[in-house]
Amino acid sequence: MNKLKLLIILAVIATTISSCIPSKPVEEELNASPERIIKKLEANRRKVKTFYGTGILNIDSPEFSGKANFEVNLKKPDSIKIAVFGPFGIDIAQAMVTGKDFIFHDVLQNKVYKGKSNAPVLKKIFRIDLSFDEIVDAFAGSVNLTDQLSGEPDNFTSQGDDIKINYYDSKYSKNTSYLIARDELTLKRYLVSNSDGQTMIEGSYSEFRNFEEVPVPYRISVKNPDLKQNIEIEYRNIEINKTSKLFKIKIPEDAEVIEWRQE
């Protein structure tokens, strides 16, 4: 009987100790090097093939300021469709943009603009100076880390439960920093600054939820302080890697179609 009691006690102690030890994958993530953390974040970004979201879009810039309900469809790597709605769900505008061309329907004026995608066109549609790929990543709440995969960070520091990783690009004289929640492996802040320390672009991400083990933020802010441009996204609903929504714009028969030519 004494031997039986001793075996039971030892079994309980062993179970308790083993339950307190984190599983190997979790422990590895918590103790991962900065390079492994960056690779994990980029791997998560690449897992998102299609993205659908609805919410509130707030744009503040010298050229335009306003807030509206919106719907966005992304099909990586080359398609984004966005629709903007006014009060009572009234259509205001919708756009279908790829890396090559675009269609923009001004619903209120019943005018359709078509042409080749370029920087001025993207700025007119999205009201912020970002490339096509950057716009896709911005709406998906991610940052492309491909350029960082082959190198080591210049420095990194722990800040409580977060880790800050810095890369310096001597060719373009810019510094890029990433503030990452170590436990959740989520990118909280992204900052690009020039050699004088002035912020060129800043992204903030919060209120993450997991989709297929990929953390996706419901609140996104992207700022260009020099141009006084700010875009804020607050999602109410998100779908990841579901069947692609309709990537077409229905053009009314009586709409005026205008071919956009950059002067």
* Contact (CB, 8 A) for 83 and 250: no
**pLDDT tens, position by position, 187-212:** 999 999 998 889 999 999 999 999 98
Find out if CATH 1.10.10.350 is the number for domain 33-243: no
**Helix axes 119-126 and 132-140, enclosed angle (nearest 10):** 30
Mean pLDDT of 54-81: 91
**pLDDT tens, position by position, 143-164:** 999 999 988 899 999 988 999 9
**pLDDT tens, position by position, 171-181:** 889 999 999 99
- pLDDT at 182 > cutoff 80: yes
pLDDT of 245: 65
- pTM value surpassing 0.85: no
Residue extents of the structural domains in the chain: 33-243
C-alpha to C-alpha distance for 41 and 38, rounded to whole angstroms? 5
Name every residue whose Cβ is closer than 8 Å to that of residue 3 and which is 6 or more positions away in sequence: none
